[in-house]
Amino acid sequence: MGNYNYIPSSSREQEELLEILGLESIDDLFKDIPSDLKIDELNIPSGKSEVEVRRIIEAIARKNQVFTSVFRGAGSYNHYIPSIVKQITMKEEFLTAYTPYQAEISQGILQSIFEFQTMVSEITGMPVSNASVYDGSNAAAEAVNMCLDKKRKKALISGTTHPMTIETIKTYCHGMGTEVEIVPTINGQTDLDALEEMMDESIACFYVQHPNYFGCLEDMESIEKLVHASKSKLIMGINPMATSILKTPFEYGADIATGEGQPLGLAMNFGGPYLGFMATTEKLTRKLPGRIVGQTTDKHGERAFVLTLQAREQHIRREKASSNICSNQAHCALTASVYLSAMGPEGLRDVATHCYSNAHYLQKELAKISGFDLVNTSEFFHEFVTTSPIKPEILNQKLQEKGILGGLPIEENILWCVTEMNTKEEMDTLVSLVKEACEA
């Protein structure tokens, strides 16, 4: 082991351990693993200096294309992040490789989570929020778990939901033996007639995104009436940015609100790490998974924070646990809290308004080009789907050559996204290049 000084067991120590275990060799420890799954030697190069490693990584990084304009969303959105967000969240007090609040020794971290919960409650209008879960899809699946009981074991999901969220919910439900059915779509929205027909006493909940995967706003008032008429639970997946100019889930009558926190100060980062938030009514508080930080007073009467209401298997009897989720995205939640503090309610509404206005401007300009018609006529927030007279992949290739990341191809159509980061000049350039590509 001389070449691996960071491994704390010497050859002699290994021999002693094998003797205690009654084994002849290290290989005996792995004899249950099929031989065809084993390899003789890992293809790992020899050790390198820091400068050598940096050169290698930089060479790999240069293969990436950094786009000057981004018109793609579909779950990960390009928003401006004020400098103060990273300045605060990168402080070493907040960075640790281990869960920083085991247990109640870090009042600062607990307070930051408490502030996050408070802000999520303000965004959703719901009275109770947890300390976060892994991502938006994970939050949706955990919300479905909250609604199941002995009589109601079937979940309905709108077909307008992000495909990855549908797959995540199905994966959770498969392991629990929960039946999942997809409600058809019509004009980019949930088919209300189909939803009404599918609702019955076996339905535990209905999950719907608002705005949905196609960018469209759903008829939430009608959905709420249909779902609650069958005494099922309504789960709303929301974009936290859109909520600042739309009704909150509480105002729509939702039982649980979930969403992806990436728009709240988290960079796109090739897909993560992200942040799932969850909020619910007081009635469902004890079914909320993960951690909840509560506020109390210590023996001196001073304000203090504690972990409380943890409905997970580490803290209550396993068979009664409503969730097996064991951690949260504490640093991502901190980032979202700092972002929301920096922006404030007015700043958030300003960003949302710019997103809405920019998206509608681009849609109208694209519609002037033959073949770029809106696929769905319902109202949208900052994403919309258009037809395309040429294959979306070919169009995107031409845009990529100009440093523009185009919309997401959905079959023969394109899902466009516009945020406050897209200037009028960028949108006009996009329209000009699209027109040029179509005429070529």
- How does DSSP assign 128-189, residue by residue? EE-S-BS-HHHHHHHHHHHH--SS--EEEEETTS-HHHHHHHHHHHHHHT-EEEEEPEETTE
Give the global pTM: 0.87
* In a domain? residue 385: yes
Give the mean model confidence (pLDDT) for residues 150-174.
96
Q: Do 246 and 218 meet the contact criterion of CB atoms below 8 Å apart?
A: no
Residues 407 and 279 both lie in one domain: no
- Supply the CATH number for residue 414's domain: 3.90.1150.10
pLDDT score of 338? 97
Residues 136 and 272 both lie in one domain: yes
Peptide bond just before 8 cis, omega within 30 deg: no
Kindly report the average pLDDT of the chain as a whole number.
92
Residues 333 and 368 both lie in one domain: no
Q: Do 197 and 227 meet the contact criterion of CB atoms below 8 Å apart?
A: no
**The pLDDT of residue 10 is above 60:** yes
Residues 282 and 377 both lie in one domain: no
Residues 385 and 239 both lie in one domain: no
Model confidence band, residue 175 (pLDDT cutoffs 50, 70, 90): confident
Give the mean model confidence (pLDDT) for residues 280-303.
92
* In a domain? residue 241: yes
Report d(CA 185, CA 201) in Å as an integer.
22
* In a domain? residue 61: no
In the chain, the number of structural domains is 2
* In a domain? residue 402: yes
Report d(CA 410, CA 396) in Å as an integer.
12
Report d(CA 430, CA 433) in Å as an integer.
5
Instruction: State which residues form the domain around 422.
Output: 69-80+344-439
Residues 225 and 373 both lie in one domain: no
- Supply the CATH number for residue 294's domain: 3.40.640.10
**The pLDDT of residue 203 is above 70:** yes
* In a domain? residue 163: yes
Residues 313 and 359 both lie in one domain: no
Residues 92 and 193 both lie in one domain: yes
pLDDT score of 9? 78
pLDDT score of 1? 44
* In a domain? residue 35: no
Cα Rg of the chain (Å, integer) = 25
* In a domain? residue 2: no
Domain endpoint, select from 286, 321, 339: 339
pLDDT, one tens digit per residue, over 87-144 is 999 998 888 766 665 656 688 889 999 999 999 999 999 999 999 999 999 999 999 9
